[in-house]
Amino acid sequence: MTLQHRYPDEFMPSKYFLAKDNDKTFQFDDQLPSLPIPSLKSTLSKYLESVKPHLTREEIEKTVQAVRRFAENEGPKLQSILEERAKAKRNWLEEWWLSYAYLKLRIPVTPLMNVTGIAPYVFHLWPPSKGTQVTRNSLSTYFLLEHWQLIKRQKLLHDSGRSGKEPWSMYQFRNEEGEAPSHLVVFCNRRIYKIDSVLDSKGRLFTPPQLKHVLSRIKEEAYSQEAGPGLSSLTTLDRSTWYKLRQHLVSLSHTNEQHLHTIQSAIIGSSLVDDTPSDMSQLSQQGLLGKPGNAWYDKSYSSIWFENGTTVSNCDHAPMDAMTSVNVSFYADCRLIECEGVWKGENEEETNEVPSYHELHFTIDKQIEDGIAAAESSYLKLARNIEIINPEFHTFGKDLFKELKLHPDTFVQVCLQYAYYKLHGKPAATYETATTRKFYNGRTETVRSCTNEVVAWAKVMLDKDSLPSQKIHLFKNAMKKHLSMMRECMSGQGIDRHLFGLKIVAAENGFDIPDIFIDPAYEKSGGNGNFTLSTSFVGFTSVHGGVAPMCSNGYGCFYRIGAKRIVFFISSWISDEGTSAVKLYASIADCMTEVIDLLSNNTVSSI
């Protein structure tokens, strides 16, 4: 039985991750076009359309007036300043986005901003099994390090658009893992260790057996002592408090500063944890909400391994978007499938050399100890307030969408809107990720998936007197609108990043905050981080994960689409009695089935 047959919608031979011939990973980055700035007229027109589902007629009229004043007064001046910035910077958004969307925020990065991902091999290759933690970690880490080497040597294939001929920016991969250093940090029993190098004396990666040897020694040593101070818990604090404690930590000892640099510059962080999550929902909860003290949440990529051989990742969102970490996880999954989860010693030479390691001993005082205790208390309070589920919808998947000529992501998005409307009786301001990586150092744009077209369709679906032909007609309109918006956003013609830029220009140039950003419509439609549904299509790979809800009455909803199934990650706040991840998924599953039944029982032309 071939691997492709065993894993038809999850496996890709690892050779397809490799750059061809003399190609290099970053060779096209400097050739990509600059990120464009949409016209002010276009953005304001689209903005007015996007707010209508969330406003009354009276509110719409007030917003129209606010937008008109902006277009006639501050808007053109702010647009001009923004255009001047774009002449000097190939990506006018890049620095602002990193600073204002991430680094200036004072909220804890976990669980509020970081992304968690479930290692897919847990379910199709390595089911939970006691005593496998170190063996599996060593093999998986080896393949993660292979990926690191591909980046370092510029042998990772550059991404491209759907045509396969349009190169995309790869610069985020520079931030995925440490660049110059070649060491790892390991967290175990609230202690922190450094594996001095992942390369042997000949410059080769240490093999899984060699990594297993050192990980076993670290684990044995860590648990032969009492639990450590759990210094990594400090990374769960709000940013201002963590900054002050970090500065104090550095003031206590120069060695402390060196240790912090060691942690920050490590290729990845690897955690050995004694919990035993056994299903996707439990793993997601551990990845985003697990016990503090055993992971450094400021790392771009942290791999957390549990006693029963299951694993998740936790990734700092600031330096890279989720699809970057998806690439490394998918690579490791495909390599593991190729070797059937067992190290077979390809090209291994006999050697007695093993990696060296040592514990990082910090000098701490009562202020730091109190900070750790406060961090763990505030973190656990947040973590206990988030519900996460990972249901699998097995009724259909990509194969059926292909048969019916439906765009998979668009189908799920419009059904998600219908499901929310059916459950809550109102539209949801929605964020869906669109990539702008076709541009220089591009990251993301927001697709405002809650459109007038999809709301009109949802209302007709709930009308018992409406005809199937009406439902299908409006469904097609909703699908076409979403597809059109996605194309516009990927082409740099979305509205949210443009509005964000205009707002920053006003703030940095001494303007009063324009009425358009004070008008209630801005936040009601999702502005200032108020999207009720925070969604993202994770792709067609085996990798899956998600985030916490963006706002207190909202949901996080990520999904991946396989050949015959759709896997969801849904989160909600337990303290908000009006939301429920379980109920939302039930509504999604019901609505998707209803729509497919509608289309299957009626003649539908291609959408």
From 68-72, 460-464, 475-479, 603-607, the region with the lowest mean pLDDT: 603-607
Does residue 607 have a pLDDT over 70?
no
What's the average model confidence in pLDDT over 364-383? 97
Domain with CATH 3.30.559.10 in the chain: 388-494+513-600
pLDDT digit string, tens, across residues 264-307: 999 999 999 999 998 999 999 999 999 899 999 999 999 999 99
Which range of 11-20, 341-350, 462-471 scores highest in mean pLDDT? It is 462-471
**What is the model's pLDDT at position 12?**
82
Within 8 A by CB and 6+ apart from 446, the residues are 431, 432, 433, 434, 489, 494, 495, 496, 497, 526, 531
pLDDT tens digits for 465-517?
999 999 999 999 999 999 999 999 999 999 999 999 999 999 999 999 999 99
185's CB contacts (< 8 A; 6+ apart) are 192, 193, 194, 195, 262, 263, 266, 269, 270, 296, 360
Report whether pLDDT(425) > 60. Answer: yes
Distance from C-alpha of 57 to C-alpha of 64, rounded to nearest angstrom: 11
pLDDT of residue 431: 98
For residue 496, what pLDDT is reported? 98
- CATH code at 388-494+513-600: 3.30.559.10
Quick: pLDDT tens for 315-324. 999 888 988 8
Pick the catalytic residue: 54, 147, 317, 544?
A: 317
Average pLDDT over residues 569-589: 97
Q: Residue 3 has what pLDDT?
A: 32
Token representation of residue 462: 């709930």
| Residue 140: partners with Cβ closer than 8 Å, 6 or more residues away | 119, 121, 303, 311, 332, 336
Query: Do the bridges between strand 555-561 and strand 566-573 make them parallel or antiparallel, or are there none, so unpaired?
Result: antiparallel
pLDDT of residue 461: 98
Task: Quote the pLDDT of residue 9.
Answer: 60
How large is the average pLDDT for residues 436-449? 97
pLDDT cut 90: percent of the chain above it:
87
Query: What pLDDT is recorded for position 606?
Result: 52
Q: What is the pTM of this model?
A: 0.95
Confidence of residue 122 (pLDDT cuts 50, 70, 90): confident
How high is the pLDDT of residue 6?
42
Where do you find CATH 3.30.559.70 in the chain?
101-384
**pLDDT at residue 386 above 80?**
yes
The model's confidence at residue 177, banded by pLDDT at 50, 70 and 90, is: low
pLDDT-wise least confident of 162-171, 198-207, 238-247? 162-171
CB-side exposure of 157: number of CA atoms within 13 Å?
A: 16
* Residue 233: closest CA among 382, 133, 103: 382
pLDDT bucket at 8, cuts 50 / 70 / 90? very low
- Give 28's pLDDT tier (boundaries 50, 70, 90): very high
Question: What value does the mean pLDDT of the chain take?
Answer: 93
CATH topology for 101-384 is: Chloramphenicol Acetyltransferase (3.30.559)
Q: Worst-scoring range by mean pLDDT, 120-129, 422-431, 461-470, 527-536?
A: 120-129
Q: Please tell me the predicted confidence (pLDDT) of residue 144.
A: 95
CA 326/CA 141 separation, integer angstroms: 15
Per-residue pLDDT for 438 more than 50? yes
pLDDT band at residue 230 using 50, 70 and 90 as cut-offs: very high
Look up 317 and say whether it is catalytic: yes
Give residue 576's pLDDT: 96
Q: pLDDT band at 119, cuts 50/70/90?
A: confident
Distance of alpha carbon 120 from its chain centroid, rounded? 15
Alpha-carbon distances, residue 569 vs 331, 422, 445, 539, 565 (angstroms): 21, 20, 21, 13, 13
> pLDDT digits over 190-212, tens only?
999 999 999 999 999 999 999 99
Q: What is the model's pLDDT at position 176?
A: 64
